[in-house]
Amino acid sequence: MRPGRALGNPLRVLGVVAFVGSIGLGALYLVLDRTSSRVTHQIDTSVTVTPRVSLLSARRAPNTLSVITRTGKIVRSFSSVSSNVPTNSCAAVDWMGLRLGSINSEKVFIPASSTKLVTAAVALEKLKPTFTFTTSVNGLMDAAGVVTDLFFVGGGDPVLVRNEYVASEKYPTTSGTSLETLADSIVAAGLKQITGSIVGVDTRYDDKRFVDVWPQSFHFTEAGPLGALFVDDGVVLGQPLKPDDPALAAATELQNLLIARGVMVASVPRRDAMQSDVPVIASVQSAPLTNIIQEMLVNSDNNTAELLLKEIGFATKGTGSTAVGLEAVAEQLAQWNANTNIQLFDGSGLAAEDRISCDVFMILLNKFSSSFPDLLAVASQSGTIRDVFGGTAVEGKLRGKTGTLNGVKALVGYLPIPNSEPVLFSLLMNKSGIDNQNSYRPIWYALAESIGKASATPSVEQLTP
């Protein structure tokens, strides 16, 4: 503006901006309404517009034009997703307060491991992000460093591990609680000899090692045996099969570490209860809950999900069981209005009887949009999508939780958008053979291409005068 040149009537200028913005919003509705009519299946064409910029902002017109252009591209390209999605499936895409794509989003389907997002959400709500698990070693130790029995007390920590075990995992445990650190602390406390046994104590939770509805083939392999004292996913290093008793397995692992550190142990490990007045010799705390949830979601850790569900039951109702944990989850989902027709039988999604809708996932994605993205696997970089989306526009950007069972494939998550809100998406597909790569990956890639349009030009900055 030249010096000394006055602006026109400011109210007129503001009125023009508001008028242009309102025209833009109307155009946006027409674009979405017309393009969405091309999408097959049961598509919800309703649009909810929540203004992100003040009506009197000079940026409103370019902001609206940018949103119109990019949302229109998403809606049009979503047809390539809907035309290939199996009939028994749901999908939903939200951005900037708009529902841009919807297929059977209100209907429930088998979610597989995407169920872990429900477990994560309720755990964050009920236990709180800074919650930690404590594992202790108790005993009556004399001045010479001798105890009769050394009680190894489980606090429900699902990621208590030996370093050697982590090195052997396909998806290595992240933010694990080191059993070696606990063993070092015991020795540092002065323990020299155990004249009895190392006793595994897992009374914090019930002794149901598997979820009732799981097929026998999942036992010991996909998850379990579960317990409040749980080391290395129930494995004893050097043994070909998991023991039936996770507390006994944990006590064996601790004994091996203590013997290696010079502690003499007279008898074999056993599992038992402990009196409440036995003093603590040493203890170890887990990483904060957010770190443990990240490990669960990135690696799709079934054991962690099931133990978190039991902890939810213990923390909210005083009973550490799957059934009571599910009661607490159902109550919390009802408070969030996210419980419509849901059926849950576990915390991991291994149960083929589980049922969740895409709409429920969208509620959770929106509610936890400030925390979930950092807790999910990253496309072509980590976890269960580390070998997916390489060479695409969403590589290194898309954050997602997968789900896989026979005839089930799911992908739920976010696509961060620079200088904007992330795109939220959920896709649950139920069809024989859909879990084969050549069946689900083309649909995943079509979805990624569609939501990637939110990052395309024109941006607000390019349209701002």
Do 229 and 148 belong together in one domain?
yes
What CATH number has the domain bearing residue 246?
A: 3.50.80.20
Does residue 41 lie in a domain region? no
pLDDT at 119 over 60: yes
What CATH number has the domain bearing residue 398?
A: 3.40.710.10
244 versus 59: the higher-pLDDT residue is 244
At residue 465 the predicted structure's pLDDT band, cuts being 50, 70 and 90, is: low
At residue 20 the predicted structure's pLDDT band, cuts being 50, 70 and 90, is: very low
Mean pLDDT across the stretch 127-144? Answer: 98
Does residue 340 lie in a domain region? yes
Mean pLDDT across the stretch 386-401? Answer: 96
What pLDDT score does 26 carry?
A: 47
Does residue 31 lie in a domain region? no
What are the residues whose beta carbons fall under 8 Å from the beta carbon of 216, sequence distance 6 or more? none
Mean pLDDT across the stretch 25-46? Answer: 43
Segment (H or E) for 411: strand 408-415
At residue 237 the predicted structure's pLDDT band, cuts being 50, 70 and 90, is: confident
Do 238 and 300 belong together in one domain?
no
What are the residues whose beta carbons fall under 8 Å from the beta carbon of 43, sequence distance 6 or more? 36, 82, 101, 102, 103
Which two three-digit tokens encode residue 152? Answer: 């190894």
What pLDDT score does 456 carry?
A: 66
64 versus 113: the higher-pLDDT residue is 113
Q: Which of 120-134, 157-171, 176-190, 202-216 has the lowest mean pLDDT?
A: 157-171
Cβ proximity of 401 and 376 under 8 Å: yes
At residue 70 the predicted structure's pLDDT band, cuts being 50, 70 and 90, is: confident
Q: Which amino acid is at 76?
A: R
Cβ proximity of 433 and 407 under 8 Å: yes
What pLDDT score does 458 carry?
A: 54
Convert the pLDDT of each residue in 294-352 to its tens digit: 999 999 999 999 999 999 999 999 999 999 999 999 999 999 999 989 999 999 999 99
Does residue 209 lie in a domain region? yes
Do 182 and 202 belong together in one domain?
yes
Q: Given 287, 307, 337, which residue is the final one in a domain?
A: 287
Question: What is the model's pTM?
Answer: 0.86
Do 367 and 415 belong together in one domain?
yes
Q: What mean pLDDT is reported for the chain?
A: 88
Does residue 45 lie in a domain region? no
Does residue 102 lie in a domain region? yes
At residue 209 the predicted structure's pLDDT band, cuts being 50, 70 and 90, is: very high
What pLDDT score does 66 carry?
A: 65
Do 342 and 222 belong together in one domain?
no
Do 338 and 446 belong together in one domain?
yes
What strands lie across the sheet with 377-378, from one edge to the other? Answer: 98-103, 89-95, 423-430, 408-415, 399-405, 377-378
What pLDDT score does 75 carry?
A: 85
Sign of the CA dihedral running 358, 362, 363, 364: positive
Structural domain of 174: 132-287
At residue 42 the predicted structure's pLDDT band, cuts being 50, 70 and 90, is: very low
Which two three-digit tokens encode residue 432? Answer: 């024989």
At residue 45 the predicted structure's pLDDT band, cuts being 50, 70 and 90, is: very low
In terms of C-beta distances under 8 Å and separation of at least 24 residues, what long-range contacts does 253-259 make, across chains too? 253/162, 253/179, 254/137, 254/152, 254/179, 254/182, 254/183, 254/198, 255/198, 257/162, 257/179, 257/180, 257/183, 258/183, 258/186, 258/187, 258/191, 258/194, 258/198
- Cα(119)–Cα(331) distance, rounded to whole angstroms? 13
Domain count, the chain: 2
Cβ proximity of 61 and 28 under 8 Å: no
Q: Given 270, 287, 304, which residue is the final one in a domain?
A: 287
Does residue 189 lie in a domain region? yes
- Cα(414)–Cα(372) distance, rounded to whole angstroms? 9
What pLDDT score does 457 carry?
A: 57
At residue 67 the predicted structure's pLDDT band, cuts being 50, 70 and 90, is: confident
16 versus 304: the higher-pLDDT residue is 304
Mean pLDDT across the stretch 181-208? Answer: 98
What pLDDT score does 2 carry?
A: 35
Do 309 and 364 belong together in one domain?
yes
Do 369 and 237 belong together in one domain?
no
At residue 60 the predicted structure's pLDDT band, cuts being 50, 70 and 90, is: very low
79 versus 272: the higher-pLDDT residue is 272
Mean pLDDT across the stretch 254-272? Answer: 98
Q: Given 287, 317, 339, which residue is the final one in a domain?
A: 287
pLDDT at 62 over 60: no
Does residue 165 lie in a domain region? yes
Do 301 and 400 belong together in one domain?
yes
What pLDDT score does 73 carry?
A: 84
Do 106 and 155 belong together in one domain?
no
Do 136 and 207 belong together in one domain?
yes
Do 263 and 350 belong together in one domain?
no
